[in-house]
């Protein structure tokens, strides 16, 4: 994969948060508009098919939101992007998912290596029963990187990246369970970005947070997309409108509409989309 993802972009003008009017943002120059390609992808748990022939391209270093009513398959699709669904017994898929042109189902790809390049933040914050420090460096430790200087640097950079550094810098070696709910979720974000992945998957990261903590995480997402390609699943349509560049609307395992976020919310092409975003069902 290209190394350009690892260096932050200099032109931040297009990236500045623009909460008021979500103007259309074209794919950034020089970046891959189809970084993640989902091709004819179907997925089933046992005999029940939950995703039907999905096709969508996710652009590099933008925020793509998946929305839709409960059970529409948006989380399932997200969890397929880092093959987290492999853990479930009796699943199988058809079609393919490509990241930077490579199939993630290629038997030559080690799923552990794949997950090192695709970080994930869960709906329920899940810090490990360890210190804050050890939580952040976990992905480095399991990769066998134990050099103290490197770890220290990663901890500071990641916690700053997750806007948590100032709050916890004096108690890095205390248990992560001493943090508040919002801090825990930001710690999980720090943990997910510690290993410099290229993609960050977020599965309803704010669903259990209060409005202030939610605002902080959203602000963070705006910052993070300078470096990461972000895919976020959310139930909260205002949140999708606030943070994402592109939005995909799913219903009953099918992709109904996928476009620039402001088009989805202001001028949806599909009547179901319109009904959903205007709150008439879902």
Partner 1 sequence: MHKNDFLSSDIKPSGEGMVWITSMGLAVGLTMIVFLLGMIVYNGLEVFWPKSVVRLELKEGSTAGLRNAPAFAGEIVKTQTKAVQSLGADGGSLLRQREYQLFVGNKDVYGFGYKFIDNAEIVGESRPSEIVVAERLEYGNAIFIPKQFTLADGSVVGADDPAFTATFDRQVEEGNERRAEIRRIERDQIGAINRQLDAIRLGRRAIENKGGELSVSDRQELSDFDATVATLQAEYEILAAKARGLRELQGANKIVYTTVDGAERTLSSGDLIDYYYPNRLSFFDKVGVFVHRFWGFLSTEPREANTEGGIFPAIFGTFVMTLLMSVAVTPFGVLAAIYLREYARQGPFVRAVRVAVNNLAGVPSIVFGVFGLGFFVYFVGGNIDRLFYSLSLPTPTFGTGGVLWASLTLALMTVPVVIVATEEALAAVSRGSREGSLACGASKWQTIQRIVLPASLPGILTGLILAMARGAGEVAPLMLVGVVKLAPTLPLDGIYPFFHLERKFMHLGFHIYDLGFQSPDSEAAKPMVFATTFLLILLVVCLNLGAIMIRNHLRKKYKTSTF
Q: How far is the CB of 147 from partner 1 (least distance, A)?
A: 17
Residue 115 is a binding residue for partner 1 (CB under 8 A): yes
Measured in degrees and rounded to the nearest 5, phi and psi for residue 233 equal -100, 130
Residue 142 is a binding residue for partner 1 (CB under 8 A): yes
Nearest residue (CB) to partner 1, 50 versus 81: 81
How many whole angstroms separate alpha carbon 88 and alpha carbon 46?
A: 10
Binding span for partner 1 by CB under 8 A among 37-45, 51-59, 127-135, 233-241: 127-135
Single out the residue of 103, 76, 98, 71 nearest to residue 87, CA to CA. Answer: 76
User: How far does the chain reach from its first CA to its final CA, in angstroms?
Assistant: 38
Backbone Cα Rg of the chain: 18
Which of 143, 145, 171, 174 is the binder for partner 1 (CB under 8 A)?
Answer: 143
Q: How far is the CB of 9 from partner 1 (least distance, A)?
A: 25
Which of 188, 206, 220, 233 is the binder for partner 1 (CB under 8 A)?
Answer: 188
Alpha helices in 53-205 (DSSP H): 74-81, 111-117, 132-136, 138-142, 148-161, 165-168, 181-193
Q: How far is the CB of 140 from partner 1 (least distance, A)?
A: 9
The DSSP code for 177 is: G
Q: How far is the CB of 168 from partner 1 (least distance, A)?
A: 16
Query: What DSSP element (H or E) covers 170?
Result: none
Q: How far is the CB of 274 from partner 1 (least distance, A)?
A: 35
Which of 122, 196, 219, 236 is the binder for partner 1 (CB under 8 A)?
Answer: 122
Q: How far is the CB of 105 from partner 1 (least distance, A)?
A: 17
How many whole angstroms separate alpha carbon 270 and alpha carbon 67?
A: 14
Q: How many CB atoms lie within 10 A of CB 204?
A: 20
Single out the residue of 279, 282, 272, 260 nearest to residue 59, CA to CA. Answer: 260
Single out the residue of 247, 249, 251 nearest to residue 260, CA to CA. Answer: 247
Residue 211 is a binding residue for partner 1 (CB under 8 A): no
Binding span for partner 1 by CB under 8 A among 18-26, 81-89, 157-165, 265-273: 81-89
Which of 25, 62, 64, 82 is the binder for partner 1 (CB under 8 A)?
Answer: 82
Cα dist from 156 to 30, 87, 105, 114, 188, whole Å? 30, 32, 34, 25, 14
Which of 59, 68, 119, 268 is the binder for partner 1 (CB under 8 A)?
Answer: 119
Single out the residue of 64, 179, 81 nearest to residue 125, CA to CA. Answer: 179
Nearest residue (CB) to partner 1, 83 versus 242: 83
23-52: which residues touch partner 1 (CB under 8 A)? none
Residue 125 is a binding residue for partner 1 (CB under 8 A): yes
Residues that bind partner 1 (CB under 8 A): 82, 84, 87, 89, 112-113, 115-116, 119-120, 122, 124-129, 138-139, 141-143, 177, 181, 184, 188, 191-192, 195, 208
């Amino acid at each position: 994969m290209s190394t350009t993802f690892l260096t932050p972009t200099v032109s931040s003008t297009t990236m500045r948060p623009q909460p008021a009017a979500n103007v259309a943002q074209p794919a950034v120059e020089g970046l891959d508009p189809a970084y993640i390609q989902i091709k004819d992808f179907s997925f089933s748990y046992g005999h029940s098919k939950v995703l039907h022939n999905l096709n969508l391209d996710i652009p590099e270093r933008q925020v793509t939101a998946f929305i839709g009513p409960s059970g529409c398959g948006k989380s399932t699709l997200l969890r397929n992007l880092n093959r987290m669904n492999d853990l479930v017994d009796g699943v199988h898929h058809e079609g393919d998912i490509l990241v930077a042109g490579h199939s993630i189902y290629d038997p030559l790809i080690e799923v552990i290596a794949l997950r090192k390049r695709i970080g994930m933040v869960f709906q329920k914050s899940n810090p490990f029963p360890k210190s804050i420090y050890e939580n952040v460096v976990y992905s480095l430790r399991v990769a066998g990187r134990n050099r103290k200087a490197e770890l220290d640097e990663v901890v500071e950079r990641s916690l700053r990246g997750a806007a948590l550094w100032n709050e916890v810098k004096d108690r890095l070696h205390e248990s992560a369970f001493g943090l508040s709910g919002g801090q825990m979720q930001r710690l999980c974000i720090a943990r997910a970005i510690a290993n410099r992945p290229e993609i960050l998957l977020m599965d309803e990261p704010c669903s259990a947070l209060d409005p202030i903590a939610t605002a902080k995480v959203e602000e963070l997402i705006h910052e993070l997309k300078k470096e990461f390609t972000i895919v976020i699943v959310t139930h909260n349509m205002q949140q999708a409108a606030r943070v994402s560049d592109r939005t995909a609307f799913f219903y009953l395992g099918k992709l109904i509409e996928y476009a620039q976020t402001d088009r989805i919310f202001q001028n949806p092409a599909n009547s179901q989309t319109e009904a959903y975003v205007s709150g008439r069902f879902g």
